[in-house]
Structure 1
């Protein structure tokens, strides 16, 4: 029986307050940078003459993030979370600094690679910190606060980034965040460095996943760096998929029933939606002439609807996981298909923004259930591997889709076609695949209830 004093404890109790605030702040900063870049990317690519690397600016941190996740998990298991967290936040800050002073688009992408490495590593280490510092009865509350930490930047991040870019320049969206990361690093890592090292060491270092994560990340970047050489780009894409087979459960890429399709669904959801998100501000600016501030409102609206849809599906306790994922995927197909039609027929931009929000509702409804279904289909023997696989599918799905979208955009643009319609058609097709994948998640041991 839990003593009354412990029952009254919360994540904001004096013993946990500093860690809770520090953890919350790290996620807010990582989320802010992810969303802020979407708003200012059209402006900075124009200034740096980097339109050819537009998609890579989004794909690069997603790809390198997988490497950071795997490396941070390995080091944390051996040395504890303190030093990995300090290194992760330092690398993230270095990436912000490099992006902020970048004289060219190539240097900016390099900064984004560092941001992905640091941000991905920090996210994994924070999970380790939570497991070590908080008792099990408080961990659900901590993870709820992390979800809120993503919602807040989605509400205010795009608008804040647009205002900063218009007032003092886009570079300060990155440079202004460096000092905040430094303050948070000092506050949070001080506690993490005091944690003891793990008492049980792994029998041997398993470097295979890290090697394949590096291969996958390099191949994703190669999709765009090879330029318009289509055959080489497709070879790189095949390498990404092959490397991913070493990071996810067997059968995920062929949509095997049960857990493999849960992992695949997460990847396809991320691939379709984040491809669309990466181009939505550019589309609204170039097709309809909206300012970055006004165009960024679409991202804020999606953040609100995503949060509401997530809350709705969480309350629907009798709703089966497969039904939640197929419904969410279907809403994304609907939203992106309607958005493609709006772009093709050049309808009112407010209609385009509204149908894009429908896709955001689909993510809020289906995306969280992939995590719940994965955990319920896992055991103590494979929970860590499956959790890493889910995140790898998420990041690589988004990174590869964005890299391929950049290739589609430049190819269609040079051919004299409509690159925006082509990109959103591509995103819609991937969303259709997510519906097929989600429908195959019910069989062979994947639970059907909450």
Structure 2
């Protein structure tokens, strides 16, 4: 939807809020903003939920579940969008996401709460893929960096108010209304964004549907959840957990472009970088409120300040990355972003370890390290979407969008599952479990730096062959 220009004439520069794109931009912004509010709210109240439902054994699984099931939603939405356009998968994703919220908000036990998180993940995964497809359909290449930066900016208001509102609601009327209240926000988002999706035509040459890809996604998601459930055991249970890990690799391979699992240069490395960024950062984020409460005796509201700062700084960093545009190559953005994420996560790990040794580390120190990591995420994370769309065509835009978000979601889910195993093992061994979890995040961050350097080459082909 670009406009033609005549040489020698001065025409107003198109922006994402120009008349041709304003409605779509507002709709997508609202979709991301409400999803961001949910993420901020859940991270804030999860320790409270676990205490209320006596479910700390499922703490990591409650975070990993929506990431894992989101893979299924992503693949399904990508296939659906490639064949029918974005409207139908968007509508289905909004309904599924809302159903998951209702299950979580009414769950009488942690096991059912996790089921709700699985359903919620199906919907949220599909929503993100449809959003990427809409960006590819509606915006010209020169505006895509700006819209992805706007996605990051959509986290600002939820970051400013989400943790505080969630903590207040949980204290005033109970944590269940944190989930039930978000259903109304989703309804508002649907009103804003579905008209844009309805106007998009189905692809002229629909991509071929492959039920086998959906089957592989189900296998990968189920294996991630099984890994977390089995990994805390011993003996034969550990053997089963190892098998589950192998099944994750087997299941995800057909869902990604060739070479992704080995960090092949170009698009494979871009997608792998996205997955490793998500794995390292969200592994650290899942435990930040928990560790601030347990080791620094902060209240949920006080600990939630960390989420507020990160949301604002991430968005600001994304805006800087977008404004720099082509003056900073994607490869340079990836190298800078992955390095800063590693530095921030390593800082958290060191400070948590020092605290476990009795050192009087003040609470602002780990919060500052967490904020530092968000600078790297904001700078590199949106660039992965821009780089991916640069290699996409009408026939595989859904596949590539799905692959990017699959790597993102499955990377985080796998890291969270392994972190849950590591946490339980550390408790049994009488070792500080938070130090072990953050050490894991550091190792993943190192891998992110290595693979991020290989993403410097510009993607040339998208490739649907297995990873």
Q: Is the 8 A contact 1:373 1:446 kept in 2?
A: no
Matched, 1:155 2:157: no
* Structure 2 unpaired stretches of 5+: 356-360, 462-467
Matched, 1:42 2:36: no
Q: Is the 8 A contact 2:206 2:395 kept in 1?
A: no
Matched, 1:391 2:405: yes
* 1:351-430 paired onto structure 2 within 5 Å: 351-376=365-390, 383-430=397-444
The CA deviation string for residues 161-187 of structure 1, in whole angstroms up to 9 with x for no partner, is: 112112211111111111232343345
Matched, 1:255 2:263: yes
Tell me which of 333, 341, 361 is aligned to 1:332. Answer: 341
Sort the Cα spacing of 1:193 and 1:330 in 2 relative to 1 into closer, same or farther, 3 A: closer
Q: Is the 8 A contact 1:409 1:420 kept in 2?
A: yes
| 1:437 matched residue in structure 2 | 451
Q: What secondary structure, in the 3-state scheme, does the structure 2 residue paired with 1:416 have? A: coil
The CA deviation string for residues 375-410 of structure 1, in whole angstroms up to 9 with x for no partner, is: 445566755433322211111100100011011111
Tell me which of 323, 327, 330 is aligned to 1:318. Answer: 327
- Distance (Å, rounded) in 1 between the aligned partners of 2:383 and 2:323: 12
TM-superposed deviation, 1:74: 2.0
TM-superposed deviation, 1:313: 2.9
Sort the Cα spacing of 1:219 and 1:10 in 2 relative to 1 into closer, same or farther, 3 A: same
* 1:109-258 paired onto structure 2 within 5 Å: 109-129=114-134, 142-186=147-191, 188-189=193-194, 192-193=197-198, 197-202=202-207, 204-226=208-230, 227-228=232-233, 229-258=237-266
The CA deviation string for residues 78-136 of structure 1, in whole angstroms up to 9 with x for no partner, is: 33333322221111111111100111111111111111111121222334455566788
- Distance (Å, rounded) in 2 between the aligned partners of 1:321 and 1:242: 29
| 2:300 matched residue in structure 1 | 292
Matched, 1:81 2:95: no
Q: Is the 8 A contact 1:67 1:117 kept in 2?
A: yes
Q: Is the 8 A contact 2:129 2:402 kept in 1?
A: no
* Structure 1 unpaired stretches of 5+: none
Matched, 1:273 2:281: yes
Sort the Cα spacing of 1:175 and 1:424 in 2 relative to 1 into closer, same or farther, 3 A: same
The CA deviation string for residues 58-91 of structure 1, in whole angstroms up to 9 with x for no partner, is: 1111111121121122223333333322221111
Q: Is the 8 A contact 1:53 1:224 kept in 2?
A: no
TM-score (norm 1): 0.89
TM-score (norm 2): 0.86
CA RMSD of aligned residues (A): 2.9
